[in-house]
Amino acid sequence: MMLRPLACRARTPLLLVGAALAVVGCRREERRFRESPPATTPSAVRVSALQPGTMADTSHMPNPYESSAYAQSEGQRLFGWYNCAGCHANGGGGMGPPLMDDEWIYGSSPENIYNTIIQGRPNGMPSFAGKIPSPQIWQLVTYVRSLSGLTPMSGRSARTEHMNFYQGAQSMQGAQTPKNSFRPPASEFP
């Protein structure tokens, strides 16, 4: 008898939490069959943080897929298909620099990476302008940022489908420790 009101009181926040989780979960798993992300190149993106005088506001263009697990796994697939992996390997680099570390030559923001892919860079990054549709570039941006742990944990895929090329665990969720530091054992990861 005494328990019922208590249970009723507790039910409301539980419902709210549940609804919130459901919304987050839906966003994570959202698949878009008609893509309508920003199709234009992010403008006014600065590659340098050094500006004469006071820092002006930079217009940030958020990645529409930042927390989408679907976009990230699509990005991973495209990363292989467009031969990004041929130079950057599975994030560790080769002909091109590594992408899983915390060093960003041309900026780590989504719009910086978008522009790097579109424009190319003078030390060897080819320009893919006109070669990759804009939605796919945003998916690539999502995956590239996930390699160094810059995307929300909820959007990252649990494991890769291929050979186990990261030491310890097959999961890519731990790929967020700073460059060249030794990874702790897999059990220490959440």
Partner 1 sequence: MSVAREQVECLHHSLIILLCLAARGYAFRDDARNGRFRALIFTHPMTLRMSYERRFRVPFRFLLLVTLAACTREDVASRAREPAAPALPASGTPRATVTLDAEDGQWTRAAKSLSGIRYSQLAQITADNVRNLRPVWTFSTSVLRGHEEAPLVVNNTMYILTPYPNLLYALDLTKGDSAPTKWMYNPKPQSEAQGVACCDVVNRGPVFANGSIIFNTLDNHVIAVDAATGAEKWNTKVGEINNGETMTMSPLVVKNMVLVGNSGGEMGVRGWLKALDLGSGSVRWTAYSTGPDSEVLIGARFKPHYPKDRGKDLGVSTWTGAQWKIGGGTVWGWISYDPTLNLVYYGTANPGPWNPDQRPGDNKWTSSIFARDPDTGEAVWAYQMSPHDLHDYDGVNENLLIDVPWKGQTRHVLIHPDRNGYVYMMDRATGEVLSAEPFVHITTTHGVDLANGMLRYEPSKHGRVGEVVRDICPASPGGKDWQPSSFSPRTGLVYLPHQNLCQDSEGLEANYIAGTPYVGMNVVMTAGPGGNRGELTAWDPAAGRAAWKLTEDLPVWSGTLATAGDVVFYGTMDGWFKAVDARTGAKLWQYKTGSGIIGQPMTYRGPDGKQYVAIMSGVGGWAGAIVAGNLDPRDSTAALGMVAAMKDLPSKTTKGGTLYVFALP
Contact 106, 121 (CB under 8 A): yes
- Give per-residue burial for 118-142: e unless 16+ CB within 10 Å, then b: bbeeeeebeebeeebebbbbbbbbb
User: Helices 134-147 and 69-81 sit at what angle, rounded to 10 degrees?
Assistant: 100
Other Cβ atoms closer than 10 A to 66: 19
Min dist CB 82 to partner 1, Å, is 7
Question: Binding of partner 1 at residue 184 (CB under 8 A)?
Answer: no
Q: Which of 45, 69, 141, 175 binds partner 1 (CB under 8 A)?
A: 175
Q: Which of 6, 7, 55, 95 binds partner 1 (CB under 8 A)?
A: 95
Question: Binding of partner 1 at residue 86 (CB under 8 A)?
Answer: yes
Residues 137-166 as x/- pattern, contact with partner 1 by CB under 8 A: -------------------------xx-xx
Q: Which of 40, 48, 123, 187 binds partner 1 (CB under 8 A)?
A: 123
Cα(186)–Cα(22) distance, integer angstroms: 29
What tokens appear for 58 in the block? 């930079």
Cα(11)–Cα(149) distance, integer angstroms: 35
Question: Binding of partner 1 at residue 98 (CB under 8 A)?
Answer: yes
Distance of CA 95 to the CA centre of its chain: 22
Q: Which of 5, 52, 53, 122 binds partner 1 (CB under 8 A)?
A: 122
Cα(49)–Cα(61) distance, integer angstroms: 16
Residue 7 one-letter amino acid: A
Min dist CB 19 to partner 1, Å, is 38
Applying CB under 8 A, what is the total number of residues that bind partner 1? 36
User: Hey, which residues between 16 and 35 contact partner 1 (CB under 8 A)?
Assistant: none
Closer Cβ to partner 1, 60 or 162, answer by number: 162
Q: Which residues bind partner 1 (CB under 8 A)?
A: 80-83, 85-87, 89-98, 100-101, 103, 120, 122-126, 131, 162-163, 165-167, 175, 179-180, 183
